A = this chain, B = another copy of it.
């Protein structure tokens, strides 16, 4: 009889999630059915997207039901298998839940991972996981920036933003990042190789727009938006003709009513495009992305940072760090 600790949704959060919205529950792992395998989760990925899955309507995924464990990408080891393609002892990644044990069925995002190809298995939750794939397909498919073009990244010191900047640089583009605070801005330049960094703190749309204009005198060809709000509105005021604004996330509005963007008029003035994308659109190309990102990370061609919090008890504090910006790298929760 195996006990399964689970980070369970008790109530739908209003605004910033709080303690009483969750319960740490204990279930018994049910017997495996034919076609299933049991995963011992080692790490869970704590992503901004989780916040959206807690809303009553969900977002691009159905809402997490009250009383169920919170959905998250995890990596772990198969303990038992009644599935022909998965065997005990094998490492796997998948979209599971924040819990000790998940049942795998080999569908959707679930796939075996080669932990020897990367510095640490956690790479499959960061540089070679969902955030890495988000950056890979965002740069290599959605944007495809080239030399002579400028890419503006908001949330640039974040898990996705820092990778987007490095991938765009590798294609020869000029990369400008927006981040919160002098320390993160220094990290953009020193560690991630951005050409220029802009600190958004304490700035309204006008001031931020002036900073972007100074950093991007010929306008911005690509905006890679993780934040929304003032960052997005300021970026919209600095588009080059025919620019592409890619919406990866809008973290500034996840805990409040949607703000949207005031300056979409600029899409007309600059005959520009704003486009949202999800990595689920690239499911059939996941192996390409995982392999490419693992290789780049293994060679040291791109750097990445992980912020590991220890223990399922820290699931909520880990999530809250995403929204106060106090994480330094991809937020990962260690479960074992």
Contacts and interface: CB of A to CB of B under 8 A. Distances in A.
A262 interface: yes
Interface in A220-275: 228, 233, 247-250, 253, 257-275
A265 B281 contact: no
Copies in the complex: 2
Name which of A233, A276, A278 has the most chain B CB atoms within 10 A of its CB.
A276
Contact of A276 (B249, B258, B270, B278): B270
A249 B249 CA distance: 26
B271 A274 contact: no
Name which of A257, A265, A278 has the most chain B CB atoms within 10 A of its CB.
A265
Contact of A269 (B59, B263, B265, B268): B59
A277 interface: yes
B276 A271 contact: yes
A277 B271 contact: yes
Contacts of A277: 268, 271
A264 B262 contact: no
A260 B258 contact: no
A299 to B, nearest CB: 32
Contacts of A271: 60, 276-278, 281
Name which of A257, A263, A275, A281 has the most chain B CB atoms within 10 A of its CB.
A275
Nearest to A254: B265
Contacts of A265: 59, 250, 253, 258, 260
Given A261-B260, A262-B258, A274 B278 contact: no
Nearest to A60: B269
A267 B275 contact: yes
Contacts of A262: 257-260
Contacts of A247: 264, 267-268
A158 to B, nearest CB: 16
Given A258-B262, A265-B250, A273 B270 contact: no
B274 A250 contact: no
A232 B170 CA distance: 38
Given A249-B268, A268-B250, A276-B268, A263 B263 contact: no
B258 A263 contact: yes
Contacts of A260: 233, 260-265
A283 to B, nearest CB: 13
Name which of A247, A263, A277 has the most chain B CB atoms within 10 A of its CB.
A247
A233 to B, nearest CB: 8
Given A228-B264, A247-B267, A249-B268, 9 more contacts: A59-B265, A59-B269, A247-B264, A260-B263, A261-B261, A261-B264, A268-B277, A269-B276, A271-B278
30 contacts: A60-B268, A60-B269, A60-B270, A228-B264, A247-B264, A247-B267, A247-B268, A249-B268, A250-B264, A250-B265, A253-B265, A257-B262, A258-B264, A259-B262, A260-B261, A261-B261, A264-B274, A267-B274, A268-B277, A268-B278, A269-B276, A270-B276, A271-B276, A271-B278, A272-B275, A273-B273, A273-B275, A273-B276, A274-B274, A274-B275
Interface of A: 59-60, 228, 233, 247-250, 253, 257-278, 281
